[in-house]
Structure 1
Amino acid sequence: MSRAVTDESRESGLETPIAKRLLIGDPLTSEKLDEQLLPKRMALPIFASDALSSVAYAPQELLMILLIGGTALLTFSPWIAAAVVLVLVVVVTSYRQLIKAYPSGGGDYEVARKNLGEIPGVIVGAALLVDYVLTVAVSVASGVDNIISAIPELNPFRIEFAVGFVILIVIVNLRGVREASAVFAIPTYLFIGSVAVMIVVGLARTVAGDAPIASSAQYAVQGESLTQAAMILLILRAFSSGCSALTGVEAVSNGVPAFRKPKVRNAQQTLSLMGVIAIALFVGLVIVALVSNVHYAENPCSLVGFDCENTPQPSLMAQVAAATFGAGSIPFFIIQAATACVLLLAANTAFNGFPLLGSTLARDGYAPKALNTRGDRLVYSNGMIILGVLAVIVLIVYQADQTDLIQLYIIGVFVSFSLGQIGMVRHWRRSLRELAALTEEAAGQQSARYERRSAINGLVINSVGAGMTVLVLVIVTITKFTHGAWLVFLAIPILAVLMLGVNRYYRDVEHEIAMDDTVHFGSQGDVAIVLVNRLQKPTVKAIDYARAANHDKTLAVHINVDEAESDQLQRDWREHDVPVPLVIIDSPYRAYTSPVAGFIKKYRANHGSAVVTVYLPQYIVGHWWESFLHNRRSRRLAQQLMLLHGVSITLVPWLLDSSEVIYGRRSRPLPGQQRGGQWTPGPDHQVHNRPDSKPPTAES
């Protein structure tokens, strides 16, 4: 079998498994971390794909909600779209200030925690984690929906496609940030370019008197009769659905550490460019959809004349593309392919944001430490895998239905928006107080005047942002709560409580193990115990390791559960002249841990606080099924003996021939070999004691 072995793996004697190498590539050294930093042109598709792709479904959701009340309500869509654009402009401007003030990558979580306290910070962290999971689910479901709009025959396999795409995105991201950006750049820029061309062509045809007509324009709509209050609520609900265009804006602020230097300026420019492109595409799609008279219903059967039983409803993007270029045309399929790709790849924003946020939370003690560990490709692979698993579960539960998933969406992001902006307001107010406390001479310096002017501008911008995001959060809560969003409001506090519990646990452990004046180095004596079942090569290797460590005393201990085996072991011991005393402990109830533990306790009682090292031979196998064919007694014994005071465990591996599947080599030869029935130590070993004529006891 051929293998690619890296220099590092050669030095360590280990090889990268071929399956892992093919999936995610060879490991990268820590020195190559700077090479993984992104220029602006590559950072845009990585961090902005979610915000850019949301314009593919935000106009659709906006018009769909209005159509519940009939086609007459579509006249409100330009004003609702304008309100969404205003919120987007304010949020983008506000986050430019956040990037400047907190460039470490903590984003809203760091702002809320430092300025509002622990609990608001944890709530923001929990809200973002939940929203990242939903980002993956909604993006993938929407991408699959666009694929099915172009090829309706694939509709029965919606869930399978969605799950498969999540797995594919996880694998691509595990290969590293730089490789992922190269994969995602082309579809993102193709989407931007193709949709922009479609909007320009559609508007040009309209101006020329040949306005595109959508396929759904022929269907009348069975709208619900609404009271004035219900109409207002429906308009607010349409606005909240349109605000899904804002998802992903915060990802740039969380990803500042991944930018090349100057990090802050590059991140701000990327954020601004993302905002301009998103606004242009969102507004253009709404206008062309209205011009072409697109009818996209929440319930397809409410479209009079549409075969809702046998035909999936085409997405808004598919209808606009078909109306502009013609269904089945090459531009139509290009736009559908680009839209599907960018929607699927929009999940990549979450696969960058979730692991980075998880790393920050782990560093602060609110998440398991494993989330702060970089994998072979210098990415936080544990966070990526967890996100992928959670997204797959959500997609399966909701049958990859975009309409149902969108109801859960954007709650978390606006919770973080609101608390983050309120935190920024407090940050700027504190900065102004600190500047006001400067001496008159220091306050008159140009740098101080610039900082004061910058703080005032930041305070104004973030105050407007805080007010607007809180207002949108209230609207989103009112309009989405009964449509499934209550699950998000349940998940966020539960996750926040768990995070606080993790932090308390880590804090208690740190307090428990902290060094203080009561710690002393008072251990007396050093004894090694090698647990022996039969006299075989793994046992001899464990004995050799124990003797090489030069303990004060080395004993071999056998638990007698079978008289015949114990007698055979004693004969073998004498025959091979093993230079270690053999202790045999009877176990009438066939237990192993209790007799060993009792022997160790008795030995320490007789010999003082001796340090006891227990050596346990253990097989290393190459195939997963082999682990079921061996008694895994060593690992169980180790787990139980570690509970004894003064005992340390050493597992001595014996590599079976099958282990070369993992290690690329066969078992190592023994340092000492058996020759002519006599024990012959390795070249660096000396025999310090001979077996006693009688088996020793704990007293001796």
Structure 2
Amino acid sequence: MLNVPEVLKRLVIGRAKRSEELGETLLPKRLALPIFASDPLSSVAYATQEILLVLTLGGLAYLHFTPWIAAAVIALMTVVVLSYRQVVNAYPSGGGSYEVASTNLGPSAGLVVAASLLVDYVMTVAVSVASGVDNIISALPSLAEYRVLMAVGFVALLTAMNLRGVRESGQLFAAPTYLFIGGVLIMAGTGLFRYLIGDAPVAESAAYGIEPAEGDANLAGLALLMLVLRAFSSGCTALTGVEAISNGVPAFRKPKSKNAAATMAAMGIIAVTMFAGVTALAIISKVHITEDSCRLIGLAGCEGYTQRTVIAQLASAVFGGNNSFGFYYIQAATALILILAANTAFNGFPLLASILAQHRYLPRQLHNRGDRLAFSNGILALALVAGLLLWGYKANVTSLIHLYILGVFTSFTLSQTGMVRHWNSALRTETDPALRRRHRLARVINATGAVVTGLVLVIVLATKFTQGAWLAVLAAVLLWLMMRGIRRHYDQTAAELAVIDPRTERQMPSRVLAIVLVSTVHKPTMRALAYARASRPAHLEALTVAVDKEGLAHLQKQWEDFEIDVPLKVLDSPYREITRPVVEYVRSIRRAGPRDVVAVFIPEYVVGHWWENLLHNQSALWLKSRLLFTPGVMVTSVPWQLTSAAVADHPAARAPGAVRRGEPTTPREHAAARATPGNGARD
């Protein structure tokens, strides 16, 4: 019989891999770059736009702050990249910021970092996919009404690709990443060349003025400072995902630290170059963009007008219009890289969740590898939460961006502070003068990173908290509390299960008292009685509940006719309950003999179709769930496979002459089958 779910699973994720093949999934630098750095590389597509959107709240008057804000973002990115190169070299086992903070600042600080990063990874998927959809709509405005459907569909596609394994997803994502890098560098180079020869590109929005938002005109003093700081914090989205390489060092080929550090340096150089080029072009071509199209002075029919993204306007200006090959190339490459930028989170989130699960802060299932040796449960969890977020916020980048980057700067600050303490500890024991000089330089770099990212964290909190960032803070706090609770549960469970005195734990019970639950005399009942007898208990009895007089009389007559040499205990149930009388009876036996063990045998049907489960075993399931909470009681299911189960398990069971599971095979079973009335089990 064709197993449709299994066939679909293999079509989506491919054949299962053996554990010994894990080494084949390690990444060379050329694949590691698109896998771990696609987020910071792609953020140049919207980081400049976010700066302009904030500055244009005051009209055109404050756009002259753009180059200074961009320079501050570039300086910050340089410091962060240099700082994380120290993390990669000092902590090559992965875990990145979480491991640094946990080791040097304590478990609570480590959990703050972990919670912040997990929230930020979810936001990376949501913002990257939503921004990618925005760029598709910029090229094809007719698709605007399908925004949410497209975004959720892309998340599903990314999930399927990542379930195939890290290396496979890297091979798929490498080409779009390098095409985007090449396209942006060519666009920036062409635009700057045209500017130098006196033919500067002009954006389609350059002719429009901008009406200041209410209350944001003629700002001065503290109000102007807050506007500039808010623009800077929005531009800092360019730094999201920088830490992913430090989390994924174990996925690199050997020498892991060296390759990871080289990949991080390459990422920093490329990202800074592209961000600087896009920002310079936006200034030269006079891109004017606002959150509300109706604030564009001179634009007719603003209500139904969809503004193109900054990078779309630049591509149109540089390459000669909205129908040029260069325009469609940049839009296609940008949309692809923005959607695939979520892959940074699809690699970082499962890796971090796996480490947290290994440390007992998250469910252990997140540490398990799937068929393709990827952390499948983490991938699916990330996809589910990000998909719900996109649906809830209607895939709107402006709404989602306010929840973004808070977590990443929390992890930046704490990890760099932890690295300062790491180098202080190393200097206390190191005697080699050359190494001491190297450690001091590294400490200066990390201390600078801690101070700068700490200031940015304060700025982000101050400027974004009331605009939606409080939700990200709340989510991180709840996640932190949840992880503490999970660790407490695992610790309590381990302490409770620990063997302190082996001699006491090996002590035999005084007696084993066996009880077989009976509703009628049929083959499952006979098998359960035989199995219970084979366990050689000190006492064996059958137990039934008198729900109706006729059924009880029929059962007692069968018991006598078949000469079953096991005493039948009948429990009265005036309210027609089954579970309560059985549980109370079993507990009374335990109270009478605290050192005895009560073994309860429950006959159960095994069916071949899911819907058949609805017709059988409901009483058995409820009984088991209650009995499992009773100390000193062992619950044993005695399965009886129906014909449908045999066919589902092995199609050959349909063959003529084949003995089906559940059919009598011995003379005694045939005699019992002929003598048994045709009524079914009362379950």
TM-score, normalising length: structure 1: 0.88
Q: Secondary structure at the match of 2:516?
A: strand
Deviation at 1:170, TM superposition (A): 1.7
Counting matched residue pairs gives 659
Deviation at 1:75, TM superposition (A): 1.9
* 2:574 corresponding residue in structure 1: 588
Q: Secondary structure at the match of 1:19?
A: helix
- Which string of whole-angstrom CA distances, capped at 9 and with x for unpartnered residues, describes residues 535-568 of structure 1? 3344444445444545555443322212322333
Gaps of 5+ in 1: 5-15, 436-442, 682-700
Change in CA separation of 1:579 and 1:390 when aligned onto 2, cut-off 3 Å = same
Q: Distance in 2 between matches of 1:208 and 1:253?
A: 43
Of 279, 286, 301 in structure 1, the residue corresponding to residue 272 of structure 2 is 279
* 2:636 corresponding residue in structure 1: 650
Question: 581-590 or 403-412: which moved more?
Answer: 581-590
Deviation at 1:657, TM superposition (A): 4.8
* 2:678 corresponding residue in structure 1: none
- Which string of whole-angstrom CA distances, capped at 9 and with x for unpartnered residues, describes residues 72-123 of structure 1? 3222211211111111111001001011111221111111111112221111
Q: Does 1:142 align with 2:131?
A: yes
Deviation at 1:579, TM superposition (A): 6.4
* 2:336 corresponding residue in structure 1: 341
Residue type of the alignment partner of 1:632: Q
Question: 399-408 or 622-631: which moved more?
Answer: 622-631
- Does the Cα contact within 8 Å between 2:39 and 2:241 map onto a contact in 1? yes
User: Which runs of 4 or more aligned residues in structure 1 lie more than 6 Å from their structure 2 counterparts after TM superposition?
Assistant: none
* 2:676 corresponding residue in structure 1: none
Q: Secondary structure at the match of 2:205?
A: helix
Q: Distance in 2 between matches of 1:56 and 1:386?
A: 27
Q: Secondary structure at the match of 2:335?
A: helix
Deviation at 1:226, TM superposition (A): 2.8
Q: Secondary structure at the match of 2:342?
A: helix
Alignment of structure 1 residues 374-523 onto 2, 5 Å: 374-435=369-430, 443=431, 448-517=432-501, 519=505, 521-523=507-509
Of 350, 362, 367 in structure 2, the residue corresponding to residue 355 of structure 1 is 350
Change in CA separation of 1:59 and 1:622 when aligned onto 2, cut-off 3 Å = farther
* 2:218 corresponding residue in structure 1: 226
Q: Does 1:638 align with 2:624?
A: yes
Gaps of 5+ in 2: 654-658, 674-683
Q: Does 1:322 align with 2:316?
A: yes
Of 246, 257, 263 in structure 2, the residue corresponding to residue 270 of structure 1 is 263
Change in CA separation of 1:606 and 1:239 when aligned onto 2, cut-off 3 Å = closer
TM-score, normalising length: structure 2: 0.91
Q: Does 1:45 align with 2:31?
A: no
Question: 589-598 or 655-664: which moved more?
Answer: 655-664
- Which string of whole-angstrom CA distances, capped at 9 and with x for unpartnered residues, describes residues 468-509 of structure 1? 111111222222122221222232223222222222222222
Q: Distance in 2 between matches of 1:313 and 1:50?
A: 24
Of 90, 93, 96 in structure 2, the residue corresponding to residue 101 of structure 1 is 90
Change in CA separation of 1:56 and 1:544 when aligned onto 2, cut-off 3 Å = farther
* 2:518 corresponding residue in structure 1: 532
- Which string of whole-angstrom CA distances, capped at 9 and with x for unpartnered residues, describes residues 592-618 of structure 1? 233323433444566663323222233
Of 100, 120, 128 in structure 1, the residue corresponding to residue 117 of structure 2 is 128
Change in CA separation of 1:179 and 1:550 when aligned onto 2, cut-off 3 Å = farther
Q: Secondary structure at the match of 2:604?
A: strand
* 2:679 corresponding residue in structure 1: none
Change in CA separation of 1:661 and 1:287 when aligned onto 2, cut-off 3 Å = farther
- Does the Cα contact within 8 Å between 1:674 and 1:680 map onto a contact in 2? no
Deviation at 1:420, TM superposition (A): 0.6
Change in CA separation of 1:532 and 1:327 when aligned onto 2, cut-off 3 Å = same
* 1:28 corresponding residue in structure 2: 17
Question: 245-254 or 206-215: which moved more?
Answer: 206-215
Overall identity of the aligned pairs, in %: 51
Q: Distance in 2 between matches of 1:384 and 1:432?
A: 40
Q: Distance in 1 between matches of 2:640 and 2:336?
A: 49
Q: Distance in 2 between matches of 1:545 and 1:146?
A: 67
* 2:613 corresponding residue in structure 1: 627
Change in CA separation of 1:221 and 1:101 when aligned onto 2, cut-off 3 Å = same
Q: Distance in 1 between matches of 2:350 and 2:43?
A: 21
Of 197, 202, 218 in structure 2, the residue corresponding to residue 208 of structure 1 is 197
Q: Does 1:675 align with 2:661?
A: no
Change in CA separation of 1:671 and 1:606 when aligned onto 2, cut-off 3 Å = farther
Change in CA separation of 1:260 and 1:544 when aligned onto 2, cut-off 3 Å = farther
Deviation at 1:282, TM superposition (A): 0.7
Deviation at 1:216, TM superposition (A): 1.1
Deviation at 1:171, TM superposition (A): 2.0
Q: Distance in 1 between matches of 2:606 and 2:176?
A: 45
Q: Secondary structure at the match of 1:614?
A: strand
- Does the Cα contact within 8 Å between 2:642 and 2:662 map onto a contact in 1? no
- Does the Cα contact within 8 Å between 1:576 and 1:677 map onto a contact in 2? no
Q: Give the superposed CA RMSD.
A: 2.5
Change in CA separation of 1:182 and 1:568 when aligned onto 2, cut-off 3 Å = farther
Deviation at 1:572, TM superposition (A): 3.8
Change in CA separation of 1:544 and 1:347 when aligned onto 2, cut-off 3 Å = farther
Q: Secondary structure at the match of 2:43?
A: helix
Q: Distance in 2 between matches of 1:337 and 1:662?
A: 48
Q: Does 1:84 align with 2:73?
A: yes
- Which string of whole-angstrom CA distances, capped at 9 and with x for unpartnered residues, describes residues 121-177 of structure 1? 111111111111111111111011111111111111111111221122222222221
Q: Distance in 1 between matches of 2:382 and 2:322?
A: 37
Q: Does 1:162 align with 2:155?
A: no
Question: 225-234 or 654-663: which moved more?
Answer: 654-663
Question: 357-366 or 241-250: which moved more?
Answer: 357-366
Q: Does 1:65 align with 2:54?
A: yes
Residue type of the alignment partner of 2:233: S
Deviation at 1:646, TM superposition (A): 1.2
Deviation at 1:519, TM superposition (A): 4.1
- Which string of whole-angstrom CA distances, capped at 9 and with x for unpartnered residues, describes residues 196-227 of structure 1? 22222222222333222211112111124132
- Does the Cα contact within 8 Å between 1:576 and 1:678 map onto a contact in 2? no
* 1:688 corresponding residue in structure 2: none
- Does the Cα contact within 8 Å between 1:593 and 1:641 map onto a contact in 2? no
Q: Does 1:332 align with 2:327?
A: yes
- Does the Cα contact within 8 Å between 2:58 and 2:219 map onto a contact in 1? no
- Which string of whole-angstrom CA distances, capped at 9 and with x for unpartnered residues, describes residues 337-380 of structure 1? 11111111111111111111112222222222222222222222
Q: Distance in 2 between matches of 1:394 and 1:419?
A: 27
Question: 407-416 or 175-184: which moved more?
Answer: 175-184
